[in-house]
Chains A and B, each alone.
Chain A
Amino acid sequence: RKEVEQDPGPFNVPEGATVAFNCTYSNSASQSFFWYRQDCRKEPKLLMSVYSSGNEDGRFTAQLNRASQYISLLIRDSKLSDSATYLCVVSGGGADGLTFGKGTHLIIQP
């Protein structure tokens, strides 16, 4: 069974701090990797794809370590609006959908 494991948190972080999440995945054949953000009672929304070489989008940096089968997300200079649940998501490349982690709950405190 394909699995994606995340620390559920919550992570309580002061505004302006840097916070990092990791997740691990079990299927070594996985091909695509994503971080999604989900606000309370809302649908998941794509935050960023994760590339083998690592990628950055503003304050967000994602890294992929295929050898160790883990994915990371770094948020710098955190804002109150970053409070949400962050879902680690993995795809085998087929049409059978994505495998979601259960999410890490982040709370940014003023």
Chain B
Amino acid sequence: NAGVTQTPKFQVLKTGQSMTLQCAQDMNHNSMYWYRQDPGMGLRLIYYSASEGTTDKGEVPNGYNVSRLNKREFSLRLESAAPSQTSVYFCASFWSGLYDGYTFGSGTRLTVV
């Protein structure tokens, strides 16, 4: 099915380890986003990419880096994981139009111990 694919679905890291979360969409969307969701905090934007070749910081970018590899793929990297980065991470993509919603991936549950 067309949509947004995230890998991995689950991950446990030790403090200080690094990892990359992968996201790919096959809907030819221009814009892609990384959110984190924590209990009681709602979804918060980490980074976004309005188009291929561009990336911008969102609300909570500290501790993360991103790469828009091509139009389809947008990865999120944790260089030195911290327990505060334990969260559920969602990738989303968006095409255009005022009344088009976002399509989300199924999420990555990350635990940093």
Contact = CB atoms under 8 A, between A and B. Distances in A.
Interface of A: 31-32, 34, 36, 42-46, 49, 51, 87, 89, 91, 93, 95-98, 100-103
B104 A32 contact: no
Nearest to B58: A97
9 contacts: A31-B98, A45-B104, A91-B98, A95-B51, A96-B48, A97-B48, A97-B58, A100-B42, A100-B43
B45 A43 contact: no
A46 B103 CA distance: 8
Contacts of B98: 31-32, 91, 93
Interface of B: 31, 33, 35, 40-43, 45, 48, 50-51, 56, 58, 90, 94, 98-107
Given A42-B106, A95-B48, A97-B33, A49 B42 contact: no
A41 B95 CA distance: 25
Contacts of B104: 43-45
B99 A51 contact: yes
A43 B106 contact: yes
Contact of A102 (B40, B45, B51, B56): B40
